[in-house]
Each structure stands twice: as structure tokens, then as C-alpha cells.
Structure 1
Amino acid sequence: MRPVKAMSEPDDRNPVLIGQRPRSRRQALSKTMWIVVWLFYLAGPVGELTSHGFSTVQRIWGVVGLTLFVLAYIVLLFRHVLEKPPHHLRYIPLAVMLALSVALTWTLGFSWLVLFIFTSVASAVVLPWQRSRWVIPLVTVVVIAVGARYPEIRNYYLFAYALPAFGSGFVMVGVQNLIRTTQELRAAREEVARLAANEERLRLARDLHDLLGHSLSLITLKSELAGRMLPDRPEDAARQVADIERVSRQALVDVREAVTGYRRPRLAVELAGARVALRTAGLTLTVDPALEQEHRGLTADTEGALAWALREAVTNVVRHSGARRCELLLTEEWEADERRYLCLTVIDDGAGPPRAQHDGNGLVGLRERLALTDGRLDTGQAPGAGGFVLRAYVPMRAPAASPDGPIPVPDTSPEPVNGPA
């Protein structure tokens, strides 16, 4: 058994769950580190506090002021991420940050101008666009006004502090718009999935009504008629009972055919499910474009077998592989008997096959399904750095044309086989 990979890990495209609330302690730690890492830009003011240019009173004032500033910054951002407080509760920490930025820069030196950049970014994160578009320029104007106190930096402080405060704020406004768009898209996709499920239930209800409505009505009518005939006309009643048996058997056949159609997996449907499962498990997925196309050489049975193979392979990758990447390939191959096969290949970079080389129940059942379509299953060590590879082969219905003309291929439709479904 290969180690199970956590299903709640962020994927490579969204490593810090941008636009999502943390669902586990690990995700909360990841988002915390993403917020805290930017505090390293305060290295300049901290370095000045440790130098010999400040008195004891100035050091105490700097430590207290910087601590209050960082606390206001962290509390503001974390409350925004976790609970999104009302707008009027967001202005108090922002006002505290702006006041501390002015006071600390005015009394301790120009290197503290970097605090205005944090204030600008925090304004963009927690305020709606209608307000942040005015607050960010206001913070920039304050940077320019306070920085003018220090003649020694007039040649570059506009580019070192004022422009980053202005630019970083509006860049973060763009990021917030992207986050909102992502959240709306995620909500829309969930709504589409819900509507699709409702539509499928309605379709099933309509089909069952069409299949069984007439048959059950006829059975009811003939049952009542047979009941009235029983005392005096037993032969006619027996004929009605025979009709009831015939209609009920036909209704049972129709229901079985309908259910079989619903349960038959499709390759496109399983590919969509594989994308969701692997993305949720935090794996990077590479899909061969051939999988997105329609293959006319597949029958319903062979397509169903490939779909089951894809489902089983992806389940094994998610539950047992411990992999970070997965690749799906679909190729056409000629065998020695001149028959053409379609090969589905699933490769991961995980722990590889177990040493005992014994197939689990899932792979055993998959071999049996493929055997019913005259196909086969191959598994083993992935090439290169290791991992696991699964190859599922199913025969194609029609041969490909060769340069010398069409090659006659005997009918490869499988004979009825008694075995597991």
C-alpha cells in the first residue's frame, strides 16, 4: 500500500489558496507565512533601532510604535481573511497605521517611510475599490509631504518610497479584483454543477415515467379486469394474467436497459472527474490532447472499459501514490496480429508499484472488465525517476488504412463470456 496523499492540500496553481478560506491547520499556516513574509521589508527600521544613533527613549518609542503598527497590520488582514468585518471597523486600524507611519518617520528618520507602503497595501486589501482608489493617493501624498522633511533624500525618495506606495496599492487592488472574480467563478461552477444534477434527476424521472407509465397503467387495468372475470370466466382471467406477466417482463427489460445506459461510464465524463480529483488532491495533471477528441473506433463497451480504467487509475494515484504529478496519454498501437488497439496510459511520479507486485481488488476487477472486451491491462514501474504506470488496451472497431490498401481484419467482437460485470 502506497502512502495516501492529503485531499486538502493546495495545488501548484494556487499554493496559498488565494480567494479561499483555510480549511486545515496547514493551510492556515501557509496563508500566515504568506502574509508575514512581507514584514521582512521592515528590516531597515529594525536595523536602525539596533544602531548607536538612537537614544534609549528613541529605541523604546521605536519598538513600541513598530510593534503597534505590525499588530494593527496583521489583525486587519487576518480579520479580513477570516470574517470580513464591517467597513467602519476597517478604518480604525488603517488610521492607526497611517498615524504611526507619520509619527515614527517624523521622529526617527526617513527609513521609516517604508511603513507607508504597508499602509497603502492594507488599504487596497480591506477597502472596496470605491474607497481605496482615494485612500491610496492620499497615503502617497502624505509620503511625499513627510519625506520632504529630509533634504538628504529629496533626489530619490519619490522613487524609493512614494512610487512603490502608489504602485503597490493599485497592484493589490487588481489582485483583489482577480480574487473576487475567482470567487464568483467558483460559485458559478458550483451552481452549474447543481443545476446539471437537477437536470439529470428530471431526465431520469421523465425516462422512467415514459418507460413505466404505460406498462403500469396496462397492468392495473388488466388486473382489475382479471379480478372481475375470476368467478365466472376463469379462462379469460387466465389470459389476462398471462398478458400481465408479459407486460411486466417487458417493463423489467426496459428498465434494465435504461439503467445500464445510465451506469455506462463515458471517457469524457471520467476525464472531467479525473481533473477535479487530481486538482483537489494537489497534483499537477498533464492531459494528452487526444483524450479530448472523439474516437469513432470505440464501441460502447470498449469506451466503458477505458473509462473504468481511467477511474481506477486516478483513484489509485490519489489514494496510494504520494505523487505530485500525473500524466494521461491516449495512443493507437498496432499489435503483431495486425489488430489496432487504443492504449490509455496513466503515469505518476509517486512511490511506484509495491514490492510484492500483487494487484489489489480494483486492478483485478479492471483486468476482468478489459478481458470482456478482448483488451488487456499492463502495470509496472514508470520509466525515468520511478513511479507507477498503468496501460489499458482495448481493440478498435475498424482498421486504419495502410499504404498498400485496406487490410482485412476479422471481426473482433467478443463472444459472450460468463464473468464479473
Structure 2
Amino acid sequence: MRVGVPPRNRRELLRKTLWIGVWLVFLNAPVQDLVSGRHTPGATAAGWLGLGAFVAAYLALVFRNMGRPFSGRRITALIVVLALLASLLAATLGHAWLGLFVYVAVVCGAVLPPRAAYGAIPATAAVMLLIGLHVGVRQAHDLILLVLLVGFAMTGVSQLVRTTVELRQARATVAQLAANEERLRLARDLHDLLGHSLSLITLKSELAGRMLPGHPDKAAQQVADIEQVSRQALVDVREAVSGYRRPRMATELAGAQVALAAAGVTAQMPAEADLADVPEDSESALAWVLREAITNVVRHSGAGRCTVELLRRQTLDGSVLELAVEDDGSGGSGGGPGNGLTGLAERLETVGGTLEASRVRHGFRLVARVPAPAPADVGSGA
């Protein structure tokens, strides 16, 4: 379950609802009090109405970030309503209702700023103790420590959520800055590559235009030079673009870690990539496989855990570098390999590699292998 963000689908909404529903156990005492028959019909009806209003206000605060977030004034008003309902119900219906102050402390710790929560939680405990003097001193003494502990614990959880949200925002900012820097670098490199060539083409075009009427042979030589320069510029641009488009395994591993964390997927990644003496084309092919696999995990699998392994293996056909990506999700929809897997298989074939995709007991597993000479074998062919 993702922390600090609204649920994206029904599955996440159900998880969050179940997690919140566990804490409704403290309503057991008020409900038993209402069904016990100890109160008059009017008091029982009023108790049910008050309890329903209390739970509605509590859930509204818990799900405050779904849809349009609540304003500060609305949050404060709902907390005041919770405190007044808890006080009124406990004072009129008895000590069984003192547990409602636990919810008031939880909400104070969860939604208020730390400074306000540090004052509101002890105040909630004090109000409960004062009401307990009239309806049940022993029960109030039993609950006061719980109110304080749960309330202050929720301030810690709330701070953790805020830190997580700020971390996500910082990651997004860093990614945006990195993308901007990459655009600037690409612009500088293209300027360096094409600036001289285009200037030379312009100059020779002007010379050819001047020479064309009286010296067609010299003009033809200038046109031939223009063709040669333009062809070389085209080669340089293609090499530069190819270098930009070639992914690196280290970069893809770091990106996979960030993507999985942002999607709320528990990731187990290799500590480092052993890519010694691995050809660039083979490394690039594996990096494409990792990118496609992580994209599928994040977008389609609904997984909660993903394991990435990168290691060398010795097979009958020689040493290979193996990349394995396994998750505990559904593997997406469809009964056959999609266009993404087909494209990856074709890409691996160009470097002599193979691709295997299969469902496992608790999810989906993708294995890619490319030939990789062992470091000890390099230079031993002499």
C-alpha cells in the first residue's frame, strides 16, 4: 500500500479501507452498550445517531485526501465535532463511550501539524479524564495512557508520511533537472557536430553559386565537397544519436529502483553490475530488457514485490550474462507474448542472446541471456 497518496484503484482502496477498519475495534464497547438494553429507547436511538455521526466525521478525516483535499478550517471543524460528540456521548451514556477519545487523539496526531498535535493530544486526554470523574474514574485511568501513546504515535506516522511525500517530490524534481541537463547536453553536442559542417556547406554553396557561370568545373568540385561534408555530418549525427539511445545497465538499475519505489513495489536489486568485458551491444540489449520488464511490472502486473538478478553463468555454450526479473503479480493480460516481448527477443537475437518468459507459482519471471566472455578468458586466444 502506497504511503501518503490516494489509492489509484479499487484494490488499493480496499487495502486502505481494511487497514483503517481494524482500528474501529474500539467501537466494540459503545455498540455493546447500545444493544444491552440498559438505556431508554430514546437514548438508544440518540446513541446510534451520535455514533454514526462520529464514525462519519472520523472516516471523512481519514479519507480527506481523496477527491478534493479538505481545507485547514474544515479539518479543524471536523476535529471539534469529533471532540464534542465524544464528550457528549460519554457524559450522557456512560464510561463505555470513553474509548471514542482514542479516535480523537488518532485524528489529532494524523492530520494536525506537529505543534498543534502536541497540544491537542494532551488536551484530549485531559477532557476524557474530567468526564471520567463523573462516569467512570477507573476506565478513564485505564485509557489515558492509551490515548497519549496512540496520539503521539500517529504524529510519528504522520511525519513519516510527510517525509515520504517530500521524498517523492524531490525525486521527481531531480528527474526533471536531469532531463533538462540532458537536453542541454544534447543541444551542445549537436551544435558542436553540425555547426562546423553547416557553416562549411553554406560557404561552399556560395562559392559554387559564384563559380557556376564562368567556371562550371570548379563549381562542380565545390558541389562534390558539399556532398562529402553533408554525408559526414549525417554519419556524425547518427553516431551521436545512437550513443544517446543506447541504455546502460547501471542507469537502468537505478531507474528501476526509483520506478518500483514510486509504484509501491518492494524491490530487491543487485548490489552492483558485473559488466567487465561485456560488449556494449550486449549490455544495451539487456538494459532494454530490464527497462521493458520494469515497465510491465509497474503498469500491468499489480505486483507488490519484484526481484532483479544480474549474474554470470557458465553454460555448455560458454559464459553468459543472465538478467532475471521476477514479480508476484498477475503478469498482465493476454495469453501470448506481446509486442514488447517479441521486440526484446528480436533485439537479443541480434547479439546472440535468448529470452524466456514464463509464469511461476506466485507471479511472472523474465530471463534474458547474452554471451559474455569470462574476464579470465579475455586475451587467452593467442
TM-score band, normalised by shorter chain? 0.7 to 0.9
2:249 maps to 267
Residue 56 (1) aligns with residue 28 (2): no
Q: 1:43 aligns with which of 4, 25, 28?
A: 28
Tell me if the contact between 2:357 and 2:365 (Cα under 8 Å) persists in the aligned partners.
yes
Tell me if the contact between 1:343 and 1:394 (Cα under 8 Å) persists in the aligned partners.
yes
Q: 1:165 aligns with which of 143, 147, 153?
A: 147
Alignment of 1:376-391 (within 5 A): 376-379=353-356, 381=358, 385=361, 388-391=364-367
Partner SS for 1:53: coil
The one-character-per-residue Cα deviations of 1:186-209 (angstroms, maximum 9, x if unpaired) are: 111111111111111111110000
Give the Cα–Cα distance (whole angstroms) in 1 for the partners of residues 381 and 209 of structure 2. Answer: 59
More contact order relative to length (CA 8 Å, sep ≥ 6): 1
Residue 304 (1) aligns with residue 289 (2): no
1:88 maps to 73
1:215 maps to 197
2:87 maps to 102
Q: 1:226 aligns with which of 165, 188, 208?
A: 208
Is 261-270 or 95-104 further displaced after alignment?
A: 95-104
Alignment of 1:143-292 (within 5 A): 143-150=128-135, 153-154=137-138, 157-158=140-141, 160-275=142-257, 278=260, 283-289=265-271, 292=272
Give the Cα–Cα distance (whole angstroms) in 1 for the partners of residues 265 and 182 of structure 2. Answer: 30
The one-character-per-residue Cα deviations of 1:49-103 (angstroms, maximum 9, x if unpaired) are: 1113222233233223222322332334434654443433333332232222222
Give the Cα–Cα distance (whole angstroms) in 2 for the partners of residues 371 and 167 of structure 1. Answer: 61
Give the Cα–Cα distance (whole angstroms) in 1 for the partners of residues 56 and 362 of structure 2. Answer: 47
Tell me if the contact between 2:297 and 2:331 (Cα under 8 Å) persists in the aligned partners.
no
- In structure 2, list runs of 5 or more residues that go unmatched: none
Tell me if the contact between 2:354 and 2:370 (Cα under 8 Å) persists in the aligned partners.
no
Partner SS for 1:22: coil
**The structure with more helix, counted as a fraction of residues:** 2
Letter in 2 for 1:370: L
Partner SS for 1:66: helix
Q: What is the CA distance between 1:127 and its match in structure 2?
A: 2.3
Partner SS for 1:255: helix
Taking structure 2 as the reference length, the TM-score comes to: 0.87
With over 3 angstroms needed to count, the CA separation of the structure-2 counterparts of 1:344 and 1:233, relative to structure 1, is same
Letter in 1 for 2:356: T
Give the Cα–Cα distance (whole angstroms) in 1 for the partners of residues 101 and 302 of structure 2. Answer: 45
Taking structure 1 as the reference length, the TM-score comes to: 0.79
Residue 140 (1) aligns with residue 132 (2): no
With over 3 angstroms needed to count, the CA separation of the structure-2 counterparts of 1:167 and 1:82, relative to structure 1, is farther
Residue 392 (1) aligns with residue 375 (2): no
Alignment of 1:310-321 (within 5 A): 310-314=290-294
The one-character-per-residue Cα deviations of 1:115-148 (angstroms, maximum 9, x if unpaired) are: 1111122222332222221111111111121212
Residue 345 (1) aligns with residue 330 (2): no
Q: What is the CA distance between 1:46 and its match in structure 2?
A: 1.1
Count of aligned pairs: 382
1:4 maps to none
RMSD: 3.2
With over 3 angstroms needed to count, the CA separation of the structure-2 counterparts of 1:398 and 1:57, relative to structure 1, is closer
Letter in 1 for 2:323: L
Give the Cα–Cα distance (whole angstroms) in 2 for the partners of residues 218 and 311 of structure 1. Answer: 41
Is 92-101 or 360-369 further displaced after alignment?
A: 360-369
Tell me if the contact between 2:128 and 2:140 (Cα under 8 Å) persists in the aligned partners.
no
Q: Taking every aligned residue pair, what percent have the same amino acid on both sides?
A: 50
Letter in 2 for 1:311: R
